Amino acid sequence: RHQLPEILTLEEVIAKFGKKLHLMIEVKENLKYAPNKVKSLETLLSPLTPQSDYHLLSLTPEYLEPLFFAPKKALLDVIWLNPKDIFRENKKLGHGAIAGHFLFFTTPQISDLKAQGKKIGAGFLNSRNSLYREVNRGIDYIFTDHPLTLKQYIP
C-alpha cells in the first residue's frame, strides 16, 4: 500500500463503487484453511447483494468453495487454458457462472449453459463487431481491456 497508494483497497473500492457498479472480485488463493480471510471478505461484502452487486471469480474453481457466505449462483469460474476441465468443474460444483475468451464458447455450449441457468462472460473483446456478436449470442458479461472503445457502441 505504501508503494502504490493510488491503488484502492477492496474496502475502498466497495465504499466508492459498491451498489453503483457490478463488481467482479477475483479470488487468487485457496481460502480453505484461512477462515479469518473468509470472514474478512464476508464482512467487507456484507453491504452488497451477491449476484446483483458482485460476483466472486477464480481461475481455480475450488478456490471459491470456502466462500460459504455467497450463493453458488454468485460464483464465476474463469477459463484460462483448460476449457474442458473448467466446464466440468463448473457443472460439478454448481457454480452459477463461467467466463473466458469468446472463442471458448460455441453456440451449442451457450445454449446448454443457458438451459442450466448459468450466466456467461466473454472476454478479449476489442471492437464493435465483437461486442455486438457476443451480445447477440446471449453473453451476460463482457470483459475487455478496451472499455472506452466499446462504450461508444452502447446506446
CATH number at residue 97: 3.20.20.190
3 found inside a domain: no
Per-residue pLDDT of 133-146, as tens digits, reads: 999 999 999 999 99
Q: Mean pLDDT, to the nearest integer, of 19-42?
A: 97
pTM above 0.85, yes or no: yes
**Domain presence at residue 33:** yes
User: Which residue(s) pair with 75 in the sheet?
Assistant: 56
- pLDDT, tens digit (0-9, with 9 covering 90-100), for 55-108: 999 999 999 999 999 999 999 999 998 999 999 999 999 999 999 999 999 999
Burial class (CB in 10 A: 0-12, 13-18, 19+), 99: buried
Above 80 in pLDDT, residue 1? Answer: no
State the pLDDT at residue 155. Answer: 84
Q: Is residue 4 part of a domain?
A: no
Report residue 114's pLDDT band, with 50, 70 and 90 as the boundaries. Answer: very high
In a domain, 5, yes or no: no
Distance CA 57, CA 64 (A): 7
**Domains in the chain: how many in total?**
1
Which whole number is the average pLDDT over 109-130? 96
User: Residue 90 is part of which domain span?
Assistant: 10-151
* Main-chain phi, psi angles of 140, to 5 degrees: -85, -40
Residue 1, in any domain of the structure: no
Dig out the grid coordinates for 45 from the structure.
461484502
Residue 58 lies in a domain: yes
127 found inside a domain = yes
Whether residue 140 lies inside any domain: the answer is yes
